[in-house]
Amino acid sequence: METAITILAIILAAGGGLLTLIAAVGLIRLPDAYLRCHAAGKAATLGVIFILAAAALMLGSIGAWSRSFLAAALLIATVPVATQLLARGAAAADIAPDPETADYTD
């Protein structure tokens, strides 16, 4: 049981680290601000929640579980809102989308 929990935690931590790294790579590789919001909002949320779940599994105490749950709930509630607001602000500020992705507007 102990070993199974440890293995699950290691898998979750590795997956979470890779997902968060993918968000940062998307930040570098994608062509405009809107697509970068997309990469940061999706990959970072899931990756960080995986790592928090792994930490709660490894520590195992009620304090670790409650703190991880609080942080994960906050992330689920706030990160999509923040990236959506940021994309709205960018659109209001007339930041141009990449020409290849802007076809639907005209």
Partner 1 sequence: MPLIHPTFSIVAVLMLVAMVLAAWRLVVGPSQADRIIALDVMAMSMVAAVGGLAVIEEDAELLDVAVATALVAFISTTAVAWYLQKRGA
Which residues of this protein are in contact with partner 1, per CB under 8 A?
6, 9-10, 13-14, 16-18, 20-21, 23-25, 27-28, 33, 36-37, 40, 44-45, 47-48, 51-52, 54-55, 58-59, 61, 63-64, 67-68, 70-71, 74-75, 78-79, 81-83, 85-90, 92-95
Residue 23 CB-density burial (10 A; 0-12 exposed, 13-18 middle, 19+ buried)? buried
Which one, 93 or 103, has the nearer CB to partner 1? 93
CB of 77 to partner 1, least distance (A): 8
Q: What is the DSSP string of 25-79?
A: HHHHHSSSHHHHHHHHHHHHHHHHHHHHHHHHHHH-SHHHHHHHHHHHHHHHHHH
Any idea which residue has 């709660």 for tokens?
A: 56
Which one, 62 or 104, has the nearer CB to partner 1? 62
CB of 74 to partner 1, least distance (A): 5
